[in-house]
């Protein structure tokens, strides 16, 4: 195995790393007070058990435990009002009041409850298995006498000394004691916590630096006192007692659980927080029991049906009481055949009020068939099958990582079709954590023929083909067989392979790449066997710059405290020469400076200031003689930004010896200052030298998006879905990504809310906390109000689009109770929202605000532990199952491998699931209303006697055998349009967002259809069989025959209604629909042949009475046609004159024009309302570009 060597450089000696030694600004005097009371005995973990009893390191993300599963899951089932109602009905069925047997009432309920609980148990068991895998990871723990043993994470205790090796996760929150570096630094990747991929540098206290070997921990005994467990990732207050002295601890020594050790061979640390006390878990919330909005609305429908049921039961009971009382008046028997003078209490005219009350209880049980008992279990079955189809969709399978899409819970399938707002993390979700040097502008000439993701997507939108090697109109395709270098995607034969020496501005090109090789803080690592150099960088874009310089012949090779060595290849003589630059000063990059500079002395003796930074600050600092290429460079930068690239301007100047000495003296004085204005002094010194620069050019780096992200966002935007980005990254990084994925575009007005302003910064250093908070809140409020004023009212048409960008500090105040509604009002009016430097808690709070105030479905998507709170707070949480940790996946409802799969998940599966579940529920209520109303009508016909029209098992099996399978098939297989057309017409998705298929109008329409069908069935059957004979021997129909006739008509009508509702027939649906009808006849034959003691009124009723009677078959045919014709007529009129969007697509498909792009464009543009006009995405970018060209053309015509 090849060994790597790197200089054991005191990184803290570089100004860039000087902050490693700066103490915490927090007040350590609070140690020992409330909130700062934790005591940790290092290397003595058992000592805590006697005094403090800190928790172990085991974590759990499950909903249930073995003890709580039964009570908690039963509560989950019986909080569904229908299940609770059937439980009460089942208990009452054990009394003489029941109109049917108790077994027929309780058996279906038990099946439903057990099946649903089993499903919940299986899903939670899967979460348990994932927790088990995490808790059983292995790490080395000190077990005495300098021996480190491999131990499971779950067995780690507070006070344990841990040895973590390279590329492993930290198992708990730890204080860094030492590392393999001499000065105790280590590189930490915190992507799972704050979403950032750039490496953070941590450093141990000087007093523990010599603990670099296992044996040195034999006698280590220290005491740490620090803050109590809390969710703040960016602050830490503590002290360490070492040999009788107290040393302050800061976030610089804190290693957080779920962050990863990078570019460091090993570190030693002591555990201070374990398990759910760790900051990562403090930012997580308990797994919520999520219920979809449709399921909640379904409860309201059941309440409505129960209210209706109670009303008709009361009405029937009152009428029953009146008629019963009149049965015996003045000793005369009115309905003598009922023998009211010798009856039970239930029909006693002398106690009519009590009889009426008992009838009410009987009626409530009898009318329970208005409520579909199999609705919940049918929906559960359908959702499980829908989830299975989602899991098996090959189009959402990521071959590279071998990860399919996985629905971890099936409760929220229909919500996928109703998403109004997506709240997305950035790093690892939109991007794939890779920067690539792709283009540059040098001396006013643009170089680089690569094509960015945004450019490719825009070209595809226009129907054009972009070749990767197009420059200045040259469209000849060149094939590049060179191996891909990570971080380098630059192609241009004019300057590659040493050809830059033939360019007219070769000296400027040479200085440009020298600057890239020198102006940075990277550390080189050299492979001993191959002599190849790799780099450890604070950020991926810094790595991309030095890699680009290396690939183009300027290799950064070695760094010491005072020098940088660059190996330059001379293209003319084909030799490599080393150039050693004396490193004089580093002026580090910061978000306020927006630039970085180094001062170096060339081998020839010249002193150079090399600088790179944002164009907004660099162009102001150019000398009048250094602006020769400014216009061309600005144009190139705008083009690069429009292509979604991150740009930096490069410039330099030659310093005179005297000028440098004056600056260096001022700079060193500022660095060694201990006054409160130290940073201002450093900034003044740097500002004095970073002037009169000579422009070299600009770089363009692509923050590599995941494959298909711009296209996916474009489709989602066309579907009317709003997309917010919540990231822990800096504002500049987030804005660049916004451009790259087309959430931001040129010409879009940016409303930026930030507290990084000079007066606020000055106040933070000099004022007290109360004054700072008051001023900051006032500033945030003013910025929000200014933003609201900028946006025109909805009544005023405007093509201008707005983007809201807010940082984490401002967000803290914007989310306070008196400001959050104004903030949300502004955010909703903007086309894009980007929240930068957001903590996990803030992500969750923003998600909660959007969800609770808008009452629309929210979807959160992320890949790290910092996204867990957001995923659990949203209506739907989607985890990215990437290579870095599984925390987000474990807390999510669905897991996908790539962001682009969200397009198919929502626009195809989401739309289908929403439509299927909506139609399925409406149909369920329709068929039960149809059935229930016939029971009510017969009871009214029979003087509300409490006698059902149907046999007990006819009642119980209606929802189980004769009408359930067709609706399940509809819920699993039905499609209004194909997957291809769902993607071609993304506006179709708005049917779910606006909930048009499950509105009260539609629900009540289905119920009205059920009532009308029941009335027609009942009265036609009564009219056909009430008086006249229906058999050849002159017999008239009895209750048993009439009940079977009505039941037969109902089975036929509701199943034929299903056939009319299906858009996409499969062989399974045919089998289920017509098979259900056939099963009814087979059941009649089998059940009617059983002993009459069991079959009762159904005994031989079909074989002996109905089957031989022609009138039975004719009435069935007539009733079915009479009840279906009105619905068929209504549907035909609605589709012809008032079509919904899916009806229009179906009609175009019937005509064979649905897949014509021009037809699709016209149909979509006519359907799209003004509030849904494209504001973000590639389409909006193209539309904006077209409008800009049109306006320019109009101006030229006018001139």
**Selection from 579, 574, 769, 607 nearest residue 689 by Cα:** 607
Alpha-carbon gap, residue 584 to 560, rounded angstroms: 11
CA 672, 673, 677, 680 dihedral sign is negative
Answer yes or no: are the C-beta atoms of 1012 and 933 closer than 8 Å.
no
Our CA angle for 17, 22, 26, nearest 5°, is 135
What tokens were used for 984?
């071609």
Phi, psi values for residue 369, rounded to 5°: -75, -5
Our CA angle for 690, 513, 501, nearest 5°, is 130
Alpha-carbon gap, residue 1117 to 1129, rounded angstroms: 18
What tokens were used for 974?
């039905």
Q: Describe the crossing of helices 1067-1088 and 1039-1061 by its angle, rounded to 10 degrees.
A: 170
- In which residue are the tokens 């790093």 written? 427
**Selection from 925, 1069, 1017, 917 nearest residue 383 by Cα:** 917
> What are the DSSP E strand ranges found in 897-973?
none
Alpha-carbon gap, residue 309 to 305, rounded angstroms: 6
- In which residue are the tokens 């306006």 written? 1191
CA 765 to chain CA centroid, nearest Å: 38
Integer CA distances (angstroms), 85 to 303, 372, 551, in order: 10, 11, 74
Alpha-carbon gap, residue 59 to 52, rounded angstroms: 19
What tokens were used for 53?
């009893």
Alpha-carbon gap, residue 695 to 622, rounded angstroms: 7
The number of C-alpha atoms within 13 Å of 1099 and in the hemisphere containing its C-beta is: 8
What tokens were used for 283?
């930012």
Alpha-carbon gap, residue 609 to 83, rounded angstroms: 77
Please count the other Cβ atoms lying within 10 Å of the Cβ belonging to residue 674: 5
Integer CA distances (angstroms), 690 to 610, 668, 694, 916, 1158, in order: 9, 16, 11, 65, 55
Please count the other Cβ atoms lying within 10 Å of the Cβ belonging to residue 307: 10
Alpha-carbon gap, residue 1036 to 1044, rounded angstroms: 14
Whole-number CA gyration radius for the chain: 37
**Selection from 385, 386, 384, 402 nearest residue 394 by Cα:** 402
Phi-psi region of 497 (alpha: psi -120 to 50; beta: other; left: phi over 0): left
What tokens were used for 1070?
């045919």
Active site residue 425: yes
**Selection from 701, 549, 697, 518 nearest residue 615 by Cα:** 697
Helix, strand, or coil (residue 246): strand
Per the residue annotation, which of 124, 183, 425, 976 is the catalytic one? 425
Catalytic residues: 425
């Amino acid at each position: 195995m090849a060994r790597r060597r790197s200089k054991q450089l005191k990184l803290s000696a570089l100004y860039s790393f000087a902050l490693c030694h700066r103490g915490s600004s927090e007040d350590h005097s609070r140690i020992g007070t409330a909130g700062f009371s934790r005591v940790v005995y290092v290397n003595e973990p058992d000592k805590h058990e006697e005094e403090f009893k800190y928790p172990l390191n085991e974590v759990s993300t499950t909903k249930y435990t073995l003890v709580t599963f039964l009570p908690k899951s039963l509560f989950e089932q019986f909080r569904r009002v229908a299940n609770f109602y059937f439980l009460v009905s089942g208990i009452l069925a054990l009394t003489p009041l029941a109109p049917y047997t108790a077994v027929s009432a309780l058996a279906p309920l038990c099946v439903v409850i057990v099946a649903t609980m089993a499903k919940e148990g299986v899903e939670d068991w899967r979460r348990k298995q994932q927790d088990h895998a995490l808790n059983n990871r292995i790490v080395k723990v000190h077990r005495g006498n300098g021996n480190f043993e491999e131990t499971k994470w779950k067995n780690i205790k507070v006070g344990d000394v841990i040895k973590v090796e390279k590329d492993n996760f930290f198992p708990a929150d730890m204080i860094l004691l030492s590392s393999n570096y001499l000065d105790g630094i280590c590189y930490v990747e915190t992507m799972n916590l704050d979403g950032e991929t750039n490496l953070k540098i941590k450093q141990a206290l000087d007093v523990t630096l010599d603990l670099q070997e296992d044996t040195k921990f034999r006698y280590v005994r220290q005491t740490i006192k620090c803050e109590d467990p809390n969710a703040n990732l960016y602050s830490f207050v503590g002290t360490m007692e070492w040999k009788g002295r107290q040393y302050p601890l800061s976030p610089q020594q804190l290693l957080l659980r779920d962050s990863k050790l990078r570019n460091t061979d090993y570190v030693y640390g002591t555990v201070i927080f374990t398990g759910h006390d760790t900051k990562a878990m403090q930012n997580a919330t308990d797994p919520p029991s999520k219920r979809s909005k449709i399921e909640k609305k379904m409860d309201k429908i059941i309440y409505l049906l129960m209210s209706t049921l109670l009303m008709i039961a009361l009405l029937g009971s009152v009428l029953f009481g009146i008629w019963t009382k009149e049965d015996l008046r003045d000793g005369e028997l009115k309905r003598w055949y009922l023998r009211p003078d010798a009856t039970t209490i239930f029909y006693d005219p002398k106690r009519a009020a009590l009889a009426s009350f008992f009838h009410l209880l009987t009626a409530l049980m009898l009318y329970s068939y208005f409520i579909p008992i199999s609705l919940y279990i049918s929906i559960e079955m359908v959702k499980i099958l829908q989830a299975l189809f989602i899991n098996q969709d090959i189009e959402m399978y990521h071959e590279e990582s071998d990860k399919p899409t996985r629905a971890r819970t099936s409760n929220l399938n229909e919500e996928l079709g109703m998403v109004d707002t997506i709240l997305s993390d950035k790093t690892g979700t939109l991007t794939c954590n890779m920067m690539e040097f792709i283009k540059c502008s040098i001396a006013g000439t643009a170089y680089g023929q690569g094509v960015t993701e945004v450019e490719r997507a825009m070209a595809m939108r226009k129907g054009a083909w972009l070749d990767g090697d197009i420059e200045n109109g040259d469209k000849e395709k060149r094939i590049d067989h060179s191996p891909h270098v990570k971080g380098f995607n630059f192609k241009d034969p004019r300057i590659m392979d040493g050809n830059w020496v033939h360019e007219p501005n070769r000296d400027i090109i040479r200085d440009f790449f020298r600057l890239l090789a020198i102006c940075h803080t990277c550390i080189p690592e050299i492979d001993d066997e191959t002599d190849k150099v790799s780099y450890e960088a604070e950020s991926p874009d810094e790595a991309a710059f030095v890699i680009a310089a290396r690939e183009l012949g300027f290799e950064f090779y070695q760094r010491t405290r005072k020098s940088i060595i660059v190996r330059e290849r001379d293209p003319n003589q084909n030799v490599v020469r080393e150039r050693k630059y004396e490193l004089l000063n580093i002026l580090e990059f910061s978000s306020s400076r927006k630039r970085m500079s180094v001062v170096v002395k060339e081998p020839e003796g010249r002193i150079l200031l090399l600088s790179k930074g944002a164009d907004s600050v660099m162009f102001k600092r150019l000398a009048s003689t250094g602006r020769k290429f400014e216009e061309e460079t600005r144009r190139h930068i705008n083009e690069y930004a429009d292509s979604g690239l991150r740009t930096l301007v490069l410039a330099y100047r030659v310093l005179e010896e005297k000028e440098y000495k004056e600056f260096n003296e001022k700079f060193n004085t500022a660095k060694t200052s201990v006054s409160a204005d130290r940073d201002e002094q450093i900034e003044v010194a740097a500002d004095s030298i970073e002037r009169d620069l000579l422009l070299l050019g600009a770089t363009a780096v692509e923050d590599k998006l995941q494959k298909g992200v711009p296209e996916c966002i474009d489709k989602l935007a066309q579907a009317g879905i709003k997309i917010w980005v919540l990231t822990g990254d800096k504002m500049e990084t987030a804005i660049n990504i916004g451009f790259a994925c087309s959430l931001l575009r040129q010409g879009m007005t940016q409303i930026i809310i930030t507290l990084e302003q000079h007066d606020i910064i000055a106040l933070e250093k000099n004022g007290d906390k109360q004054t700072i908070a008051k001023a900051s809140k006032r500033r945030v409020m003013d910025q929000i109000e200014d933003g609201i004023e900028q946006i025109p009212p909805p009544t005023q048409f405007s093509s201008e689009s707005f983007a809201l960008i807010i940082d984490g500090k401002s967000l803290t105040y914007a989310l306070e109770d008196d400001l959050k509604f104004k903030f949300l009002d502004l955010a909703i009016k903007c086309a894009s929202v980007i929240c930068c430097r957001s903590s996990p808690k803030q992500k969750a709070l923003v998600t909660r605000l959007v969800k609770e105030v808008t009452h629309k479905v929210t979807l959160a998507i992320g890949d790290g532990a910092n996204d867990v709170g957001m995923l659990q707070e949203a209506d739907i949480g989607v985890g990215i199952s990437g290579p870095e940790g599984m925390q987000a996946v474990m807390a999510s409802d669905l897991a996908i491998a790539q962001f682009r799969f969200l397009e198919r998940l929502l626009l195809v599966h989401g739309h289908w699931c929403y439509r299927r579940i909506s139609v399925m529920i409406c149909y369920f209520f329709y068929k039960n209303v149809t059935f229930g109303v016939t029971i009510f009508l017969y009871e009214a016909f029979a003087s509300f006697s409490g006698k059902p029209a149907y046999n007990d098992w006819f009642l119980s099996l209606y929802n189980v055998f004769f009408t359930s399978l067709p609706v399940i098939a509809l819920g699993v297989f039905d499609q209004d349009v194909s997957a291809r057309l769902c993607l071609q017409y993304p506006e179709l998705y708005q049917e779910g967002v606006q909930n048009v298929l499950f509105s009260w109008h539609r629900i009540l329409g289905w119920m009205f259809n059920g009532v009308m069908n029941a009335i027609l069935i009942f009265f036609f059957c009564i009219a056909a069989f009430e008086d006249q004979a229906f058999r050849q021997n002159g017999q008239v129909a009895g209750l048993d025959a009439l009940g079977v006739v009505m039941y037969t008509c109902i089975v036929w009508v509701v199943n034929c209604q299903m056939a009319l509702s299906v858009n996409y027939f499969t062989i399974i649906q045919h089998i289920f629909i017509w098979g259900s009808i056939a099963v009814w006849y087979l059941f009649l034959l089998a059940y009617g042949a059983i002993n009459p003691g069991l079959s009762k009124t159904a005994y031989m009723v079909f074989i002996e009475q109905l089957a031989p009677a022609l009138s039975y078959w004719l009435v069935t045919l007539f009733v079915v046609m009479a009840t279906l014709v009105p619905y068929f007529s209504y549907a035909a009129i609605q589709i012809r004159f008032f079509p919904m969007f899916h009806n229009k697509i179906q009609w175009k498909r019937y005509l064979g024009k649905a897949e014509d792009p021009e037809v699709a464009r016209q149909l979509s543009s006519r359907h799209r309302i003004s509030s849904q006009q494209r504001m973000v995405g590639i389409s909006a970018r193209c539309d904006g570009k077209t409008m800009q060209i049109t306006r320019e053309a109009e101006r030229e015509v006018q001139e």
